[in-house]
């Protein structure tokens, strides 16, 4: 299946093949999908809350969108205005498993293309300020795979809205990462948080 990744000379044909792959029943290619780098595995959530562990289900783990090379290929193709089919394919993934798309995006090597960067910026803000099991799932995995980005987004949130500090502190406390965040946060935030 390695032949499906990257960019073919016949991009429209590649998009068509990828569309067929992601719409095929998962059981048909389950072992092949599992052989590629995964966005997450359930064992990575062994220390998470029971609710988050439940969201990290066998069904979610076996999703075709839990494949980093697939997301990387589709996002790379979608960056080109000529390949509208790639954007539609990405939209399919976001409608079915948006949490896997964002978590795959943050695990890709930098530098990111502009389309990739815009997607990450928009989606991360929603997931880091959201409440519920799905945002908590994303927050947990994001901390595991890209702590620098996690802290950077929180600092941007704070810079944009100083009243968000209480929410940021509550989030870092709920994930048990507040002390680790202090290593990178400004001294002002450290002092200010001690008053809560």
**Looking at the predicted structure, is the pLDDT value of residue 46 above 80?**
yes
Q: What whole-number distance in Å separates Cα of residue 84 and Cα of residue 46? A: 39
Over range 100-116, report the average pLDDT.
93
Say whether pLDDT at 192 is over 60.
Answer: no
Over 60: is that where the pLDDT of 185 sits? no
3-state secondary structure of 47: coil
**Mean pLDDT score, 166-184:** 82
- Per-residue CA distances from 48 to 44, 52, 140 (Å): 9, 6, 8
CA-based nearest residue to 15, from 92, 82, 74: 74
Specify the higher pLDDT residue, 1 or 97: 97
pTM, to two decimals? 0.88
Q: pLDDT class for 7, splitting at 50, 70, 90?
A: confident
Q: Where are the alpha helices (DSSP H) in the chain?
A: 11-23, 26-34, 50-55, 58-61, 68-78, 84-105, 114-129, 133-145, 147-160, 165-174, 178-182, 187-193
- Residue spans of the domains in the chain: they are 2-130, 146-196
Between 80 and 191, the higher pLDDT residue: 80
């Amino acid at each position: 299946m390695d032949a499906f990744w990257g960019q073919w000379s016949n991009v429209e044909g590649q998009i068509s093949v990828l569309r067929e792959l992601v719409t095929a029943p998962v059981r048909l290619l389950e072992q092949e999908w599992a052989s590629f780098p995964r966005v997450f595995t359930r064992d990575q959530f062994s220390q998470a809350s029971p609710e988050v562990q439940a969201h990290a289900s066998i069904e979610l783990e076996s999703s075709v969108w839990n494949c980093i090379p697939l997301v990387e290929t589709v996002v790379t193709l979608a960056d080109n205005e000529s390949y509208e089919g790639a954007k539609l394919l990405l939209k399919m993934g976001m409608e079915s498993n948006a949490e896997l798309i964002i978590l795959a995006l943050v695990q890709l090597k930098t530098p990111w293309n502009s389309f990739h960067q815009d997607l990450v910026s928009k989606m991360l803000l929603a997931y880091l300020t959201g409440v519920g099991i799905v945002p908590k799932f994303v927050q947990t995995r994001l901390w595991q795979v890209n702590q620098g980005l996690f802290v950077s987004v929180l600092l941007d949130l704070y810079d944009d809205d100083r009243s968000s500090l209480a929410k940021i502190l509550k989030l870092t406390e709920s994930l048990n990462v507040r002390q680790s965040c202090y290593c990178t946060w400004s001294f002002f935030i450290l002092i200010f948080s001690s008053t809560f």
